[in-house]
Chain A
């Protein structure tokens, strides 16, 4: 039985990859309403439902492991909540698990991605790129800024044309797979185009699956 704090593990694939985080929020908000899930609303002049996402996925990318925390005002069975919510979402959002969270999002450290590149890279190219600093130019509030992203890359490996990498998912030091590819482009001195990017796992500091 769920009461108050609820965590939802879901995937966001297919057409949903073209949808921004903000629009995903609106989609969930309307779905909760249609599903008549007693979600807790902020008080005040313009009440809105409290929803906290562990991470965001940038437009163009998919994910198999998104976490969303909500609060409910009446106890509910896990299965019932999952079923009612699923009925109000398209098949591009799959609810995998609904449970009471045991750990805060602050303990989330790493995220693993599977990237398929149009024209791949070789193992030696990848090894060389990772052997030194990887500097990218980032647009920030104060204009362009150079940043070494190498410390934010835990590992990267090739399996045929699939590039698997583990990147920092700490909120303040978040490395998006798009920026990782950008860094790789810089190191290799050529353009790379990702056909698909999927977030496959999220981990805590000890590389245990984060739930």
Chain B
């Protein structure tokens, strides 16, 4: 490493604190005792990556071992990327400052499809060959994990291994295999990849053949050998109380997105919203006990000094011990002036008692997600939320002095009509009316309702995985229709997502291996940071697809046949296809399904096991 050049680079970029490491709480190890070095990359800006709970957990889980050193790296911002290229300086890891290209492993957490181009940017800036087939014995093993690996197919050209499911136990196992093979002299890259493919929860794409039929659909997936599984079953942590959870955090110098303690309360979700990938792939529900959580929160508070604890899960108010947990936490957080925040509240369980407990002084607003405007469509998506529930919850918030409500909706859901869009506007108006009718609300402060509408994206492993996405024109027409309905009311502010961004996201969400060429082409066209409005360039993307002879509609705007081989069939997420099909049929009939706590719908995830679940005992 050339200190002088690095210093010159850092002095010429914005926010150099993004690249230096050296933060309080980082893990420094004696290199002479290390047998496997792992660079953990969150392929977006430092500010976003540092806030990610998964990285905090997994880096800590790896660093428990004396002979493993896990360091961090992120996607350099554009000015930094330019300078690194100008000086021909490869990207380095934050803790040691050593080049990423010299590590044993580089792991990418794949949280959203729009970060795929950043993965290539990071490899390129690290001077690591982009394509797995071009990487020799000396190059690091490139591994991916996280939500997007429930369909990793578009990334197969670039990755050696995907870790499917939860990684706290799986990743250390993989590194142990690597160390053992190196120690015994058995190690070659291909021998290691084969052994990895035989471990539970690891997918080595190069060991599987894909055939396509003449109509462009997938014909078959075949393992190249008979000693590797036909489908890769996801890994889960059985007992969340015993799972590794960090006791300290790396404290960023510069401000990040989530500068607070995040306490993961439980995994999974008892609801079964039919569009929601996380609600399906994190099954079965597994809770932590309040006492364990309280201890973890206390330790994190002592070691970080943060004054906010955010209780994290897919739907926090569905936690079966939420009262006990908040009581336990309030025993000490009040005295220490530590605030509790509860994102992801469901209106059904939003009560006066809960409102009493959560820190609310600083914010004037509250957020709910009805997702659809009419009861009919909410039943289709299995949201299990009524207008009465929502208005009651808003009134609770108004009773406590809140005057702004944010409502999340989705456009383009299956079976959506104009009446459902009318319902969005009506619902927003009813919330405003409820404010004026609430005797405790301060009428001198006018209420505001923010209606925020995203576009439906059919996601793998959901009952809606076969659905087509509305084309851009249709989505934009719906957005305009809603704008006409809402714009006359000054108390409602309306925000909507760019339909074009959602279309590209849909292409990669349901894509297959053939999209690898498009990603490579996109990288050469300078496409990156697609998740950022200021960088996303739809026309550039369309040019890339055209050049690669790829029709984005084939992936995004086509209804997939239920008998079709899906690119992600290779992954076993625990939830059975037959269950997804049943749910899809119920959706079309407008029939809801009860929560896991009320009745078991037989999704199949209980076969994975797990402690403190709400699954019936097998």
Chains A and B come from one and the same complex: yes
Which A residues lie at the B interface, using CB under 8 A? 14-16, 18-20, 23-24, 26-27, 29-34, 45-47, 59-60, 88-90, 92, 193, 195
Q: How far is the CA of A88 from the CA of B24 in the complex (A)?
A: 7
The answer on a CB contact under 8 Å between A59 and B16 is yes
The answer on a CB contact under 8 Å between B7 and A195 is yes
* Number of B residues with CB within 8 Å of any CB on chain A: 25
24 pairs of residues in contact across A and B, judged by CB atoms under 8 Å:
A14-B22, A15-B20, A18-B16, A19-B253, A19-B254, A20-B17, A23-B253, A23-B254, A24-B253, A26-B255, A27-B24, A27-B253, A29-B305, A30-B305, A30-B306, A32-B305, A33-B307, A34-B304, A45-B361, A47-B337, A89-B24, A90-B23, A90-B24, A195-B4
The answer on a CB contact under 8 Å between B254 and A90 is no
Near A by CB (< 8 A), chain B positions 1-19 give 4, 7-8, 10-11, 16-17
Contact of B251 among A15, A19, A30, A47 (CB under 8 A): A30
Q: How far is the CA of A43 from the CA of B20 in the complex (A)?
A: 35
Chain A nearest CB from B308 CB (Å) reads 12
- With A30-B251, A34-B305 known as contacts, the answer to whether A23 contacts B17 (CB < 8 A) is yes
Chain A residues contacting B304 (CB-CB under 8 Å) are 30, 34
- Known A30-B304, A32-B305; 20 more pairs at CB < 8 Å: A15-B20, A15-B22, A16-B22, A18-B16, A19-B253, A20-B254, A23-B253, A23-B254, A23-B255, A27-B24, A30-B251, A31-B305, A33-B307, A34-B304, A45-B361, A47-B337, A59-B11, A88-B24, A92-B22, A193-B8
Chain B nearest CB from A108 CB (Å) reads 26
1/0 contact trace for B10-41 toward A, CB 8 Å? Answer: 11000011001111100000000000000000
Chain B nearest CB from A86 CB (Å) reads 12
Q: How far is the CA of A16 from the CA of B22 in the complex (A)?
A: 8
The answer on a CB contact under 8 Å between A18 and B17 is yes
Is B362 engaged at the interface, CB distance under 8 Å to the other chain? yes
Is B335 engaged at the interface, CB distance under 8 Å to the other chain? no
Is B134 engaged at the interface, CB distance under 8 Å to the other chain? no
Chain A residues contacting B251 (CB-CB under 8 Å) are 27, 30
Chain A residues contacting B254 (CB-CB under 8 Å) are 19-20, 23
Contact of A34 among B8, B20, B302 (CB under 8 A): B302
Chain B residues contacting A14 (CB-CB under 8 Å) are 22
Q: Which residue of B lies closest to A34 (CB)?
A: B305
Q: How far is the CA of A60 from the CA of B306 in the complex (A)?
A: 27
Chain B nearest CB from A29 CB (Å) reads 8
Q: Which 8 pairs from chain A and chain B are nearest by CB?
A: A33-B305, A15-B22, A18-B16, A34-B305, A30-B305, A15-B20, A23-B253, A19-B253
Chain A residues contacting B303 (CB-CB under 8 Å) are 34
- With A23-B254, A26-B255, A46-B362 known as contacts, the answer to whether A18 contacts B305 (CB < 8 A) is no
Q: Which residue of B lies closest to A14 (CB)?
A: B22
Chain B nearest CB from A160 CB (Å) reads 18
Q: How far is the CA of A27 from the CA of B17 in the complex (A)?
A: 12
Chain A residues contacting B20 (CB-CB under 8 Å) are 15, 18
- With A30-B251, A33-B305, A195-B7 known as contacts, the answer to whether A19 contacts B17 (CB < 8 A) is yes
Chain B residues contacting A47 (CB-CB under 8 Å) are 337
1/0 contact trace for B294-308 toward A, CB 8 Å? Answer: 000000001111110
The answer on a CB contact under 8 Å between B22 and A90 is yes
Chain A residues contacting B8 (CB-CB under 8 Å) are 193
Chain A residues contacting B306 (CB-CB under 8 Å) are 30
Q: Which residue of B lies closest to A193 (CB)?
A: B8
Q: Which residue of A lies closest to B12 (CB)?
A: A60
Chain A residues contacting B337 (CB-CB under 8 Å) are 47
1/0 contact trace for B551-580 toward A, CB 8 Å? Answer: 000000000000000000000000000000
Near A by CB (< 8 A), chain B positions 306-345 give 306-307, 337
Q: How far is the CA of A32 from the CA of B7 in the complex (A)?
A: 30
Chain A residues contacting B21 (CB-CB under 8 Å) are 15
Q: How far is the CA of A18 from the CA of B6 in the complex (A)?
A: 12
Chain B residues contacting A45 (CB-CB under 8 Å) are 361
Q: How far is the CA of A19 from the CA of B16 in the complex (A)?
A: 7
Q: How far is the CA of A30 from the CA of B254 in the complex (A)?
A: 12
1/0 contact trace for B538-554 toward A, CB 8 Å? Answer: 00000000000000000
Q: How far is the CA of A27 from the CA of B22 in the complex (A)?
A: 12
Q: How far is the CA of A167 from the CA of B431 in the complex (A)?
A: 62
Chain B residues contacting A26 (CB-CB under 8 Å) are 253, 255
Q: Which residue of A lies closest to B97 (CB)?
A: A15
Chain A residues contacting B253 (CB-CB under 8 Å) are 19, 23-24, 26-27
Chain A residues contacting B362 (CB-CB under 8 Å) are 46
